[in-house]
């Protein structure tokens, strides 16, 4: 059961935090106003169904996912991605995304960030609640500068999150102000009520 962003522990259920970064999910500076997060999250839902079908498993369990982004001043683009939490069989389905072409690892000279794992799943008990739930909902987008190494792989500098400044900051704040929370969120196996999130 999920209520007020709290997942009641169960010995029979598996929980996992995840981050997914589909191919071609970066948006150029100045073009963020054209990006539609509703379509992006709907596409992610279809990817999950495709993952389940590929593995031959039923769409069971629960999932809550949120759109997030950063800004890369090197490429002058926003690498968009999804943070979330999966419960029960949905963990396996999220993990199965790595077998879809859309989530293949970066290759030399294709311009994608090799430091990023397209599908990152962190299993284990959830502690310090509700932080694991509220973290994916963060509204802060940080600066993430990249470079091209000698092998033609794009990698990120290892640095702490830095605030976005200038034109990019104005653009992404306007973007966040334009869309409602429910439009940048995906719920599966649960629904929102006045009392919180309830399992369906």
Percentage helix, strand, coil for the chain under 3-state DSSP, each rounded to 5: 30, 30, 40
Per-residue pLDDT band at 83 (split at 50, 70, 90):
very high
pLDDT of residue 10: 45
Percentage of the residues of the chain whose pLDDT score is greater than 90: 56
The lowest-confidence range among 39-48, 126-135, 169-178 is 126-135
Whether cis (ω within 30° of 0) applies to the bond prior to 130 is: yes
Of 131, 154, 174, 150, residue with least CA distance to 79: 154
Average pLDDT over residues 128-154: 77
Helix (H) or strand (E) holding 132: helix 131-134
Q: Pick the residue with more confidence: 74 or 47?
A: 47
Of residues 102 and 114, more confidence is placed in 102
pLDDT, residue 147, reads: 76
Cβ atoms < 10 Å from Cβ of 2: 21
Both structure tokens of 74: 């090197």
Q: Which letter does DSSP use for residue 131 in this model?
A: H
pTM for this predicted structure: 0.83
Predicted confidence at residue 115, as pLDDT, reads 52
How far, in Å, are 21, 72, 165 from residue 162 at the CA level?
20, 11, 9
Give the DSSP letter of residue 134: H
Per-residue pLDDT at 96 exceeds 90: yes
Nearest CA to 66 out of 47, 40, 90, 48 is that of: 40
Q: Any residues with CB less than 8 A from the CB of 123 and at least 6 apart, and which? A: 14, 15, 16, 91
* Mean local confidence (pLDDT), 155-182: 87
Quote the pLDDT of residue 42: 97
Please, which pLDDT band fits residue 65 given cuts at 50, 70 and 90? very high
Does the pLDDT of residue 53 top 60, yes or no? yes
Alpha carbon distance 156, 168 (integer Å) = 18
Please check the confidence at residue 184 and state whether its pLDDT lies above 90: yes
What local confidence, expressed as pLDDT, does residue 158 receive?
59
What b-and-e string marks burial along 27-37, b requiring 16 or more CB atoms within 10 Å of the CB?
A: bebeebeebeb
Interval 77-98 mean pLDDT: 94
């Amino acid at each position: 059961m999920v209520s007020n962003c709290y997942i009641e522990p169960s010995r029979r259920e598996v929980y996992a935090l995840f981050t997914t970064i589909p191919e071609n999910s970066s948006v150029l500076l100045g073009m963020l106003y054209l990006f539609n997060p509703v379509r992006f999250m709907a596409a992610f839902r279809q990817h999950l169904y495709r993952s389940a079908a590929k593995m031959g498993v039923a769409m069971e369990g629960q999932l809550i996912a949120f759109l997030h982004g950063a800004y890369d001043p090197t490429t002058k683009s926003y690498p968009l991605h999804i943070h979330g939490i999966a419960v029960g069989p949905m963990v396996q389905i999220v993990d199965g995304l790595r077998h879809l072409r859309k989530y293949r690892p970066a290759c030399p000279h294709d311009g994608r960030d090799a430091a990023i794992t397209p599908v990152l799943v962190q299993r284990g008990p959830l502690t310090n609640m509700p932080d694991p739930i509220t973290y994916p909902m963060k509204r802060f987008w940080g600066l993430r500068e990249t470079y091209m190494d000698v092998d033609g792989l794009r990698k990120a500098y290892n640095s702490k999150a830095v605030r976005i400044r200038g034109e990019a900051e104005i653009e992404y704040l306007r973007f966040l102000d334009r869309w409602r929370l429910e439009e940048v969120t995906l719920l599966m196996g649960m629904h929102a009520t006045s009392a919180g999130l309830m399992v369906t």
